[in-house]
């Protein structure tokens, strides 16, 4: 894994639905399995996580192949 990404500025008391945007295709990776949370974020439903986790702790990212990127969509749901 490549480390964690944090999303600063979110309301720590709120919950956010996280999805990976895929309209430009799926990013190629240098590993055989993704972090568990990412599998859910790749679905149409996404995954709901607390703002405190997203903003303070962050989430682990997979190791991407060169010239690849992931775009995340976060929507406050509660």
Per residue in 18-74, pLDDT (tens digit) is 999 988 888 888 877 888 898 899 888 999 999 999 999 999 988 899 999 999 999
Count of beta carbons in the 10 Å neighbourhood of residue 40: 17
The pLDDT, as a whole number, for residue 8 is 96
Domain that holds residue 43: 3-76
| Two tokens, residue 64 | 């991407």
Torsion angle of alpha carbons 60, 61, 63, 69, nearest 10°?
-170
Contact 27, 64 (CB under 8 A): yes
2-16 as b/e, with b when 16 or more CB fall inside 10 Å? eeeeebeebeeeebb
Q: How many folded domains does the chain comprise?
A: 1
């Amino acid at each position: 894994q490549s480390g964690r990404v944090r999303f600063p500025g979110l309301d720590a008391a709120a919950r956010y639905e996280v999805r990976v945007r895929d309209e430009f295709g799926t990013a190629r990776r240098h590993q055989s399995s993704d972090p568990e949370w990412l599998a859910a974020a790749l679905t149409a439903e996404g995954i709901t996580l607390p703002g405190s986790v997203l903003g303070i702790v962050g989430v682990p990212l997979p190791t991407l192949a060169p010239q690849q990127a992931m775009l995340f969509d976060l929507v406050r749901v509660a």
